[in-house]
Structures are given as C-alpha cells and as structure tokens.
Structure 1
Amino acid sequence: MTERAGKVTGAVTVSVDGYSAGLHQTEERPFGDDGGDGTGAGLHAWMFETPDENRAEVEQMTAADAFVMGRNMFGPVRGAWDRPWNGWWGDDPPFHAPVFVLTHHAREPQPMAGGTTYHFVTDGIVAALDRARAAAGAGEVSVLGGATTLNQYLAAGLIDELRLHIAPLTLCAGTRLFEGVPALRLEQVSARAASLVTHVTYRVLR
C-alpha cells in the first residue's frame, strides 16, 4: 500500500441512533424507511429543505480530489446493475473528480459530464483507496459511504477524519454506522447546529 499523502475523510448523514438508511431499500426508495419517502427527504432534509443554511457542508462533501463509494451508493441495491445505468447521481454527478466504486462486478470505467469518471474496483477496500490516493496526489480522498463501506474503512484504521451530519430523528433499524467497528478514540474538531441537522467533525486518533 502506498504511503499516506493527503487526508482521508469519511462523511455520512445518520440518524441520532446511528443509521444511514432504514429498512426496505428499493431502487425507488434508496434510503428505505428513512423518516420520509425513502428518497432521502427524511435523513437528508437538511440538504433539500435548508440548502442555504448548510451550503458550506454540502460543498465540502464534494470538494475532495478523489472519492470512494460502495456499490449501493453508486447504484441500486438490486435490479439495475447489469443494465445500462449511470448511477443515482445523474449525467453530471457533483464530484467532478475520479470516483472509485467498490463492487464484485467488473465494469469498464464510466466517464460522465463535468469531469467525474467512475472506476469500478473489484479487489477490495485497500486497492480502491490506493487508486484514489494515486489520483488525488497530495489532495484529499473522501470515503462517502454508505455506512457499510465506511465501517470497513474505519475498522481497518484507514480514516483520518470523520464528518457526521446528524439528523434529528431515529430509525431504530437499517444500515448502521459503527456496526462491527472496534472501539474508536475520537477528537472533536468542530460542531455546528443547524435547524435540521448537527454537523460534527472528529479526528480519528491512533
């Protein structure tokens, strides 16, 4: 594995009880029972209903020089992976940088409008991160999730900074951050309360 250059961050929106998605996820409802209609309107209301209040955090989420995401964050849980599919993010995704998608299904790189190119990585989290670091140079790599992917990187000790966007609701079941992750020591870097979310950044201590 290459030596660390830029910072590796992890970012995710979670409920107060730690879930990044509810049960019953489908192609039409990627966040499942998320306190809204399943399209993110519950957990992610802070992005859609109060964007001006949270502009700095929204912009920060796509400001890295390379990204890593899990297959489910790129595309649907089931049903559409083997047909022509540009992912959840439309024809001009907000990343404008290389995105390395963890998957068991090999696929050619997929260039998109605006400078985003999806690269599909079949040989695990370390390989995906190495490729993202090489693409980012001395810049930041962001592991955007979902929680299952972020948990793997946290468990492997590969995250330097964790950025949580905590929505004021509970889901009680679903996909949970920190599931299967050993105990962590975190140092709070910043915290900011907004009307529909609290943004907290932690440094992961080693």
Structure 2
Amino acid sequence: MTELRVHNLSVSLDGYGAGPDQTTENPLGVGGELLHEWIFGDRTPVDERFVAAGVDGVGATIMGRNMFGPVRGPWPDASWRGWWGEDPPFHHDVFVLTHHPRPSLEMAGGTTFHFVTDGIEAALARARDAAAGRAVRLGGGMATVRQYLRAGLVDELHVAVVPVLLGGGERLFDDLGDALSGWTCVEYAPSPSVAHVRLRPRQPGSGATPDAAL
C-alpha cells in the first residue's frame, strides 16, 4: 500500500515545530523561521539527500488548514490562495483538511488544492488515489501530524532537530499517548546545521532490525 510519510519536519531542541502567534507576517509563528534556515541556506550533501527524499517519488500531499494559511472559520471568499504564490512547489494534488467546504483551487505548475471536510482517513484515501502508486507526503502543522500518528496511519516520520530554543508554539510530541510505542530509529544523520532522525514503526513479528529499513 502507498506509504504516508513525513519528510523534513523541523523541530526545535525544546520540541516545537512552529512558533507562537502565526500571522501573515509570521507564517511559521514568531521565531519559527529559524527552524527552516537549514533548508533555504547552504545545504550540505546530507541535507540535500533528505530534501530530495521529500520530493522524489512523492505523488500527493496532505496538510492541515493552518499550513495552507491563516484564515480561520468559514472561508470569506476565495482570495487566499496559499503562502506560495501562483506556482506552489508541490506540482501535484494537495489535500487540505478543513471543516469548511471550498471548491478545489487549480494553480500553475500542476498543483491543485482540494479542501477535504470529511476527516483524515478520507483525505488519505483521496491522496493515495491521486498519488497513483507513489508515496503520500504528510505536511504540517503539528496538530495534523499528531492526528495521523494517533490514528496509526503514518509509515515514516523524519524530523530535523534544529539547535534553537523557541520557548513556545506548537509541539510535535504532545498528546500522543502510546502512538509511538514500538517505533524505532532507522537512521540518524547529523549535519552541521541539524540532526536528521528517521523513525518507523517496527512491524510485529517481522524480525526486522533498524538497518533493514535503510
């Protein structure tokens, strides 16, 4: 079955994946841009490999409404078209979780945003169909990732631990219960900027060792 994977999810040393007070001026929250300097700065070969893994073989993306934009409640109109301009970097179908319906939004470069109101499993089913055998990437925000982790639907979680302290915002590993019970680190790859950690659930009875997943 098509895997659902989280790629290049940057978190601070104190566990925050976004800063507080998201606005149009601070789309990642106050201080949140520090988490992504490793992506937009001078990447090392280690960093490049992980960035490429988040693109190669990925056929669809799922994200929460907060990642799509700062608009809350019913959509007042269709004027908000995402943070990324008229040619977003996805170049495939993107499924946005929301409680409020909105028509699909076709953008340049092959990206179409679909607004899903019937839950995380429905979004995953649609994304898998759209991916046509390729992987589905699970984007942010942190609440969306936690929802899929609690539901046991994530096949791989890659976090990039950034050596900064945010002191507030949205944490990745809150309220997960035993959702990560049995998960194991299958790769640890530090670069000068971040520490890359890939986690996968250990399959019961498979006899798999961490190295088998590399």
TM > 0.5:
yes
1:189 matched residue in structure 2 = 186
Corresponding residue number in structure 1 for 2:53: 60
Distance in 2 between residues matched to 1:44 and 1:80, nearest whole Å? 30
Residues 110 and 180 from structure 1, CA distance in 2 versus in 1: closer, same or farther, beyond 3 angstroms? same
CA distance in 2 between counterparts of 1:56 and 1:152 reads 27
CA RMSD of aligned residues (A): 1.9
Whole-Å Cα distance in 2 between the matches of residues 75 and 62 of structure 1?
A: 22
CA distance in 2, matches of 1:79, 1:122: 13
Aligned to 1:9: 5
Give the aligned residue type for 1:20: G
**Conserved? CA contact 2:75–2:102, under 8 Å:** no
The code of the aligned residue for 1:160 comes to D
Report which stretch shifted further, 95-104 or 179-188. 179-188
TM-fit CA distance, 1:60:
2.3
Q: Is contact 1:62–1:94 with CA below 8 Å preserved after alignment? A: no
Provide, for residues 66-102 of structure 1, a one-character-per-residue CA deviation record: whole Å limited to 9, x for no partner: 1100001111255995341220122111111110000
Instruction: Report the Cα distance in structure 2 between the residues aligned to 1:182 and 1:75, rounded to whole angstroms.
Output: 28
Per the alignment, residue 176 of structure 1 pairs with: 171
Q: Is 1:27–1:79's contact at 8 Å kept on the other side of the alignment?
A: no
CA contact (8 A) 2:73 2:100 kept: no
Indicate the SS of the match to 1:32: coil
2:77 equivalent to 1:85: no
CA distance in 2, matches of 1:194, 1:28: 30
Partner of 2:123: 128
Per-residue deviation, 1:146: 1.1
Identity of aligned residues (%): 48
Question: Residue deviations 1:133-153, cap 9 Å, x none?
Answer: 111132101111111100000
AA aligned opposite 1:95: F
Structure 2: how far apart are the matches of 1:145 and 1:79?
18
Paired residue type of 1:56: R
Figure out how many residues of one structure are paired with residues of the other and give that number: 197
Mapped pair 1:107 → 2:102: yes
**Greater CA radius of gyration, 1 or 2?**
2
**1:73 maps to 2:67:** yes
Give the structure 1 partner of residue 41 of structure 2: 49
Q: Structure 1 residue 204: deviation in Å?
A: 2.1
* CA deviation after TM superposition for structure 1 residue 8, in Å: 1.0
Secondary structure of the corresponding residue to residue 85 of structure 2: coil
